[in-house]
Amino acid sequence: MEDTDSRSTVETVADALTEAVRTGRLVPGQRLTENEFTNRLGVSRSSVREAFRRLTADGLLMAEPHRGVMVRQLSRVEVDNLFQVRGALEALAVTLALPALHQAPSTLVALQRDLDAAVEQGDMNRFSQLNGRFHRLFRDTADNALLSDTLTRLSNSLYWLQFRVLVDRSDVFDTNRQHREVTECVVANDEGGARAAMLRHVENARKLIQSLPDDHFARPQPRKDRSRITD
Amino acid sequence: MEDTDSRSTVETVADALTEAVRTGRLVPGQRLTENEFTNRLGVSRSSVREAFRRLTADGLLMAEPHRGVMVRQLSRVEVDNLFQVRGALEALAVTLALPALHQAPSTLVALQRDLDAAVEQGDMNRFSQLNGRFHRLFRDTADNALLSDTLTRLSNSLYWLQFRVLVDRSDVFDTNRQHREVTECVVANDEGGARAAMLRHVENARKLIQSLPDDHFARPQPRKDRSRITD
DNA sequence: GTTTATTCGATTGTCCGACAATATTATCGG
DNA sequence: CCGATAATATTGTCGGACAATCGAATAAAC
């Protein structure tokens, strides 16, 4: 199955690992050994190590010295922390994207129409796909690469429960109501309202995740300090 | 000069590189080759590569495929982007830290006193040291490891101009006035005021940096996409 | 029988040397 | 001087090797 290598070796490995995490073949918290993947993928240890590090930086895996890497899994506290940061950044994205979106709202309103339709039809997969596109529209329009990358990393940190969270219809209904609030505020050029609605939306997502049973979360983690730069 | 190796090899290399960047021995934008450091530090290429990657993730260096790494240097646009994100996160830190700081403000007011004293005496070095401690107090008290790490990475991204920015007395005076506003709002338990003051403070720092001449900044960069996770 | 020490195997951290792929620089001809 | 080509330098990947460290199985002590 190995024909053209347009991408580099570590990219190939990283993609394979990403896919394995996304589809749940690699379970959150599961330990990954280097040898395992050198054999399975037929690449050298160096490449596997490099791919591990890259995915760790991206938030998909987590590493501990002398203990290797594992599929990232957050504790409840870490999830709360993540959503605090995410809220602040999504609100910033709203502020930055507002002028452009208000002036040319066609993409946003079309997207909102599709979201409404997906809710109407109860198509959860389509909804969650469009939901992602909704947030991406804001952070792409915000035109701030650092903001975009940071938000992406946060998303990746939740990758492990990607297909584990099954939202039912009432959840989707609530979520979409907040979407519509955001959209309406954008059309009305109401920055404060849009920010507040987006914050409510993020908070809602947090609650949805926290409502999962305990076994989806990592045990409270030991403190890892490693701050190279002091005073 | 090499006695006890309590730290790992790559940590040693990373520390050496960090110090070299901080003291300006390595110039922003300067290209770093692997061989150069394998010879100079007497370690293997693997370790140097690993240290490069770690510092790249920390925001101190930047890497381009097949072109190696260089000391990180931001363009003016990237600096603006960074300060937008930083503002949002520092404001979040204020919000999160406010209850604890308001209830036990002794550390903060003592720090503020020291800041005032440093300004009085025109001791720039001490001031910038205390300034760092001021911000660290908020993000440590916020009790959110992710927020703290993210802010630290942003700081690191500005490491290259650490000792290049020479603030004069009037700058310090303005900066400290904003500090005092933040402190007073915290004591008065005024969250909105504290956030606003902190935002003004961040904006002030941005302007200070942007007032530097062009040759301190990188040329506008070509777009690097590399987002592994799509739809 | 439970707890503590020891040993052993597995895994990561680091080193070395090699070669291919790619980028940078030097050379040459116009 | 400029552009095309060749030579060189640098990174990307490979394979193997050994030391350092961790985890678990085993043995010893209470």
Query: Which structure tokens are listed for A88?
Result: 């602040």
Supply the pTM of this predicted model: 0.90
Interface test with A, best of B229, B230, B231 (most A CBs within 10 A): B229
Residue A77 (CA) to nucleotide C3 (C1'), in angstroms, measures 35
Task: Return the residue of A nearest to B128 by Cα.
Answer: A231
* φ, ψ at B8 (rounded to 5°): -75, 170
Tell me whether residues B65 and A8 touch, CB distance under 8 A: yes
Place of tokens 């260096």: B61
Cβ-based contacts (< 7 Å) between B 23-42 and strand C? 38
- What is the pLDDT confidence band of residue A225, given thresholds at 50, 70 and 90? very low
Separation of alpha carbons B175 and B169, rounded Å: 10
Tell me whether residues A159 and B92 touch, CB distance under 8 A: no
Mean pLDDT highest for which of B24-38, B80-94, B122-136, B155-169? B80-94
Contacting residues of A for B96, CB less than 8 Å apart: 84
Task: Write out pLDDT tens, residues A42-74.
Answer: 999 999 999 999 999 999 999 999 999 999 999
Tell me whether residues B150 and A85 touch, CB distance under 8 A: yes
Q: Which residues does A109 contact at the CB level (< 8 Å), separation at least 6?
A: A183, A187
Separation of alpha carbons B183 and B134, rounded Å: 10
Separation of alpha carbons A82 and A86, rounded Å: 6
First CA to last CA distance, chain B:
53
Strand C atom within 7 Å of A45 CB = yes
A50 touches chain B (CB under 8 A): yes
On average, the pLDDT of chain B sits at 90
- What is the pLDDT confidence band of residue B34, given thresholds at 50, 70 and 90? very high
Are B154 and B85 within 8 A, CB to CB? yes
- Nearest Cα of chain A lies from the Cα of B103 at a distance, in angstroms, of 22
CATH number for A9-71 (one of 1.10.10.10, 2.60.40.1170, 3.40.190.10, 3.30.420.10): it is 1.10.10.10
Strand C atom within 7 Å of B5 CB = no
**pLDDT value of residue B173:** 87
Strand C atom within 7 Å of A66 CB = yes
Q: In chain A, where are the structural domains located?
A: 9-71, 76-216
Place of tokens 């990403």: A18
Q: Which fold has domain B76-216?
A: Four Helix Bundle (Hemerythrin (Met), subunit A) (1.20.120)
Contacting residues of A for B18, CB less than 8 Å apart: 228-229
Separation of alpha carbons B120 and B76, rounded Å: 32
**pLDDT value of residue A222:** 56
**pLDDT value of residue B222:** 56
Cβ-based contacts (< 7 Å) between B 50-89 and strand C? 50, 65-67
Name which residue leads in pLDDT, A224 or B125. B125
B45 touches chain A (CB under 8 A): no
Contacting residues of A for B50, CB less than 8 Å apart: 53
DSSP strand pairing (B31-32 vs A61-64): unpaired
Task: Write out pLDDT tens, residues B93-140.
Answer: 999 999 999 999 999 999 999 999 999 998 888 988 999 999 999 999
Q: Which nucleotide is nearest to A48 (CA to C1')?
A: D13
Tell me whether residues B156 and A229 touch, CB distance under 8 A: yes
**B90 has a pLDDT exceeding 60:** yes
B159 touches chain A (CB under 8 A): yes
Task: Write out pLDDT tens, residues B130-167.
Answer: 999 999 999 999 999 999 999 999 999 998 887 776 66
Mean pLDDT of A154-172: 79
Q: Which residues does B98 contact at the CB level (< 8 Å), separation at least 6?
A: B186, B189, B191, B194
